[in-house]
């Protein structure tokens, strides 16, 4: 993930004036303090919103609140006051399907000349908020529960700063565009003419018309009789350029939002278990994935995360599609087609583009358009391209969709051409990276912090850098591409790819295995020296199947040792290694998606006991999280008694591949395998973790056939019952 530009930290004795500064790190996400109200997020399409628990925006300091559209914050302030005061919060909840935020508020005690003139809890206000088609809809429903009339003074303050997302994340700009405001009787237009020549407009629509309306506040005055109800509707419409988003009346829009969510989730496999808390975790994961899913011209695509990564990311989309493949293969198709549509065909050093490369990141904001950041259409990742080939092969094997395979095969060949060509700049058989432009990312694997790749003495590795997991992705990509070529009748091409994969496996073991530390080096530096550091990257090597079995077992034992396994998951760096910091982004924290890929690797090599421990650690962590939602990452501190994990302050939540983690963990535990050619679903050495006695999978699909399965745990054994079988699927459990 790209990280935004940093802020300046001063270091000295705190009793002395602070003058020494640490250099800024490009694309660092600053953590400048916590806000006083928990945050709530909604997303639909290219629009997302970050509210506080009152459904306000910008009412408390140091937040990234706002309504965002296409990487720009269209509304930076939206705050409601009752009779000039902040209301009292009764409750704040996002629906289980993430479609609506509902907030219950009431009036505070009101005093005049030190006398109570209006007791609290008389007026009930319900704020209902949702997004649809680039607009945020909000209803204020007020009801007087007192026995006398209630004078309501409702004010709604608003503002739009049109900050680019990278500005919100901490980057400074010397110049900005011009803002104007047009005020009507019942609407206000906030206009921003960007330096990129694009007109952006936030339109505030009020129904009924306010008693007073200015360029920053709408005011109402009502007298509510006992038990009387009254509603005020506010629509925030985001328009960009010549494109105008159409807003609907509140109730029609609400029905449309519900119907859209139902349509998007129809056909997915659903999960129910004997553990109600795990059911909540799984429900939240599915809801988050559904919310982050964005309909693009090429098909559904899971945007990476809110707030920093709500856009197309190559690596994240591919891995999320892999996690979801067994329960919704349509996502993989959408991801493959979208990334193929933007595959690089030319060389562009500023974008780090080379023919055949798969995009890393796409941005639609002003700063990207002006090249103030390089991420408009940016290709600076070494792993997205082999992962693309991997996903294409996995999709082929799961669906047997020959038509899509033939459509994508030229893109697969172009990706393989990059892997064997520009991706291997020194022709040593390993894929390396070095940024082509100084504005780009220094590190271009999934651990893309500037300090994530280093030697045993802590010295940062100098490029070109060959990451261990990237070579393993290449191995799996060529194995899967070989099988796909055979499927398409290209026998000679398939045989060549198979031979290349076998050769890579031999050279990989020789170059990356470090007997002295008992695991794989995280990378080879530009002088081909192994970075002999114990990291979780070695676990992702197991995911691909490139590891020799004896080395895979050594890696598993190391990763499940106390130096790696925190009790809440596997750390990115072992705690006895240089640069270990449990509060860092990549050097000691716990990433759920990383753990899910490691668990899939454990399953490949038959280490089911390790999966059980890992699955339980991540599930236990989720039970402490707000909304039962696994975040992008959390700190790597050792698990303590009767306390939850320590949160990472600027982690994205929700995050697509974190949401996909429970799905891949369950698949790995059950050993689910799909063979489209034989129309067969296998459960290889199925296990259920200790917290699940029973799991039922509904609507499990293979081709046009559907089955429902129930699995029950009997100590370390699992029994299987087929509840429904529509089609010709053969289901079998293999226990040896």
Q: Which of 621, 643, 670 is the last residue in one of the domains?
A: 670
pLDDT in the model for residue 8: 29
Is there a domain that residue 675 lies in?
Answer: no
pLDDT digits (tens, 9 = 90+) for 491-543: 999 999 999 999 999 999 999 999 999 999 999 999 999 999 999 999 999 99
Least confident range of 130-144, 262-276, 313-327, 605-619: 262-276
Mean pLDDT score across all residues of the chain: 92
How is the chain split among helix, strand and coil, in percent rounded to 5? 30, 30, 45
Q: Are residues 240 and 307 in the same domain?
A: no
Q: Which of 197, 231, 260 is the last residue in one of the domains?
A: 260
pLDDT in the model for residue 18: 36
Is there a domain that residue 111 lies in?
Answer: yes
pLDDT at 692 over 50: yes
* Cα 305 from Cα 57, distance rounded (Å): 19
Residues 127-155 as b/e (b if ≥16 CB within 10 A, e otherwise) read bbbbbbbbbbbbbbebbbebeeebebebb
pLDDT in the model for residue 62: 67
Nearest to 532 by CA among 553, 546, 511, 547: 511
The angle subtended at Cα 490 by Cα 487 and Cα 492, nearest 5°, is 125
Residue length, the chain? 736
pLDDT in the model for residue 119: 86
The partner residues of 72 in beta bridges, in order of sequence, read 69, 164
**Cβ atoms of 161 and 73 closer than 8 Å:** yes
Tell me whether residue 58 is exposed, middle or buried, using C-beta atoms within 10 angstroms of its C-beta: 0 to 12, 13 to 18, 19 or more.
buried
What band does 30 get if pLDDT is binned at 50, 70 and 90?
low
**Cβ atoms of 729 and 702 closer than 8 Å:** yes
SS3 category, 52 = strand
Q: Give 573-580's long-range contacts (Cβ < 8 A, gap of 24+).
A: 573/533, 573/534, 573/535, 573/536, 574/534, 574/535, 575/636, 576/534, 577/456, 577/533, 577/534, 577/535, 578/454, 578/456, 578/457, 578/458, 578/533, 579/451, 579/454, 579/458
Q: Are residues 302 and 244 in the same domain?
A: no
CATH for 393: 1.50.10.10
Q: Are residues 161 and 279 in the same domain?
A: no
What band does 262 get if pLDDT is binned at 50, 70 and 90?
confident
Beta strand extents in 580-704 (DSSP E only) = 672-675, 680-684, 694-702
Express as a percent the part of the chain with pLDDT over 70: 95
Is there a domain that residue 19 lies in?
Answer: no
- β-pairing, 123-132 vs 199-207, is unpaired
- Reduced 3-state DSSP string for 519-569: EECCEECCCCCECCCCECHHHHHHHHCCCCHHHHHHHHHHHCCCCCECCCC
| Number of Cβ within a 10 Å radius of residue 526 | 14
Q: Are residues 429 and 572 in the same domain?
A: yes
Q: Are residues 96 and 177 in the same domain?
A: yes
For the segment 609-636, the average pLDDT, to the nearest whole number, is 97
What band does 699 get if pLDDT is binned at 50, 70 and 90?
very high
Q: Cis check for the bond before 208: say yes or no (omega within 30 of 0).
A: yes
Where in the sequence is the domain holding 417, given as residue range(s)? 267-670
pLDDT in the model for residue 26: 60
Q: Are residues 354 and 438 in the same domain?
A: yes
Q: Are residues 254 and 281 in the same domain?
A: no
Is there a domain that residue 273 lies in?
Answer: yes
Q: For residue 703, give Cα distances in angstroms to 298, 673, 675, 691.
A: 21, 14, 10, 32
Is there a domain that residue 680 lies in?
Answer: no
CATH for 54: 2.70.98.40
For tokens 């695509």, name the residue. Answer: 301
Is there a domain that residue 556 lies in?
Answer: yes
Q: Are residues 404 and 526 in the same domain?
A: yes
pLDDT at 13 over 60: no
Q: Are residues 494 and 632 in the same domain?
A: yes
How many domains are there within the chain? 2
Q: Are residues 157 and 281 in the same domain?
A: no
Is there a domain that residue 27 lies in?
Answer: no
pLDDT digits (tens, 9 = 90+) for 208-253: 999 999 999 999 999 999 999 999 999 999 999 877 778 899 999 9
Q: Which of 610, 642, 670 is the last residue in one of the domains?
A: 670
DSSP letter at 282 equals H
Q: Are residues 529 and 403 in the same domain?
A: yes
pLDDT digits (tens, 9 = 90+) for 167-219: 999 899 999 999 999 999 999 999 999 999 999 999 999 999 999 999 999 99
Q: Are residues 605 and 535 in the same domain?
A: yes
| Number of Cβ within a 10 Å radius of residue 496 | 14
Is there a domain that residue 223 lies in?
Answer: yes
């Amino acid at each position: 993930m790209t990280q935004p530009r940093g802020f300046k930290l001063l270091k000295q004795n705190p009793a002395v004036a602070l003058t020494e500064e640490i250099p800024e790190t490009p694309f660092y996400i600053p953590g400048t303090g916590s806000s006083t109200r928990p945050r709530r997020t909604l997303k639909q399409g290219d629009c997302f919103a970050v509210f506080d628990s009152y459904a306000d925006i910008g009412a408390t300091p140091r937040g990234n609140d706002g309504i965002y559209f296409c990487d720009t914050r269209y509304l930076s302030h939206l705050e409601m006051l009752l009779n000039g005061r902040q209301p009292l919060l009764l409750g704040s909840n996002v629906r289980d399907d993430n479609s609506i935020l509902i907030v219950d508020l009431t009036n505070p005690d009101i005093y005049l000349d030190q006398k109570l003139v209006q007791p609290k809890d008389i007026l009930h206000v319900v704020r209902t908020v949702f997004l649809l088609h680039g607009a945020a809809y909000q209803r204020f429903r007020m009801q007087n529960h007192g026995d006398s009339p209630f004078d309501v003074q409702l004010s709604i303050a608003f503002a739009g700063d049109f900050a680019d997302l990278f500005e919100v994340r901490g980057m400074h700009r010397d110049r900005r565009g011009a803002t104007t405001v047009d005020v009507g009787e019942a609407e206000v237009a906030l206009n921003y003419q960007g330096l990129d020549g694009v007109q952006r407009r936030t339109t505030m629509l009020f129904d009924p018309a306010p008693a007073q309306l200015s360029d920053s506040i709408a005011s109402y005055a009502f007298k509510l009789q006992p038990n009387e109800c009254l509603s005020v509707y506010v629509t925030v419409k985001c328009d960009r350029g010549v494109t105008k988003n159409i807003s609907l009346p509140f109730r029609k829009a609400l029905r449309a939002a519900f119907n859209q969510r139902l349509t998007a989730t129809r056909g997915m496999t659903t999960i129910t278990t004997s553990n109600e808390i795990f059911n909540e975790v799984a429900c939240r994961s599915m809801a988050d994935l559904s919310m982050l899913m964005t309909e693009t011209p090429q098909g559904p695509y899971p945007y990476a995360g809110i707030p920093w990564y709500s856009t197309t990311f190559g690596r994240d989309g591919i891995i999320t599609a892999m996690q979801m493949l067994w329960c919704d293969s349509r996502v993989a198709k959408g991801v493959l087609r979208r990334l193929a549509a933007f595959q690089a065909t030319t060389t562009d050093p500023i974008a780090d583009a080379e023919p055949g490369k798969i995009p890393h990141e796409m941005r639609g904001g002003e700063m990207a358009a002006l090249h103030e950041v390089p991420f408009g259409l940016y290709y600076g990742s070494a792993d997205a391209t082999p992962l693309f080939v991997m996903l294409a092969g996995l999709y082929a094997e799961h669906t047997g969709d020959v038509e899509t395979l033939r459509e994508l095969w030229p893109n697969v060949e172009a990706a393989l051409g990059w892997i064997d060509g520009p991706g291997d700049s020194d022709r040593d058989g390993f894929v390396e990276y070095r940024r082509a432009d100084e504005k780009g990312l220094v590190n271009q694997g999934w651990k893309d912090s500037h300090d994530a790749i280093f030697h045993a003495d802590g010295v940062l590795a100098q490029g070109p850098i060959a990451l261990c997991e990237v070579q393993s992705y290449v191995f799996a990509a060529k194995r899967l591409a070989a099988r796909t070529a055979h499927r398409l009748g290209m026998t000679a091409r398939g045989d060549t790819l198979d031979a290349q994969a076998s050769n890579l496996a031999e050279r990989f073991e020789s170059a990356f295995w470090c007997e002295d530390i008992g695991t794989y080096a995280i990378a080879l530096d530009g002088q081909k020296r192994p970075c002999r550091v114990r990291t979780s990257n070695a676990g992702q090597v197991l995911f691909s199947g490139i590891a020799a079995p004896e080395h895979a077992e050594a890696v598993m034992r190391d990763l499940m040792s106390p130096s790696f396994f925190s009790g809440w998951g596997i750390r990115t760096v072992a705690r006895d290694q240089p640069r270990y910091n449990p509060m860092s982004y990549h050097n000691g924290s716990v990433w759920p998606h990383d753990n899910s890929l490691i668990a899939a690797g454990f399953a490949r090599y038959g280490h089911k006991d390790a999966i059980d421990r890992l699955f339980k650690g991540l599930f236990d962590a989720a039970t402490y999280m707000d909304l039962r939602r696994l975040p992008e990452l959390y700190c790597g501190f050792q698990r303590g008694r009767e306390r939850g994990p320590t949160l990472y302050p600027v982690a994205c939540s929700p995050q697509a591949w974190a949401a996909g983690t429970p799905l891949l963990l369950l698949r790995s535990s059950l050993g689910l395998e799909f063979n489209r050619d034989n129309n067969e679903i296998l459960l290889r050495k199925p296990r259920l973790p200790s917290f699940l006695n029973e799991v039922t999978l509904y609507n499990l699909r293979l081709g046009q056939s559907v089955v429902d399965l129930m699995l029950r745990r009997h100590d370390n054994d699992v029994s299987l019952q087929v509840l429904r079988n529509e089609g010709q699927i053969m289901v079998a459990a293999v226990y040896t």
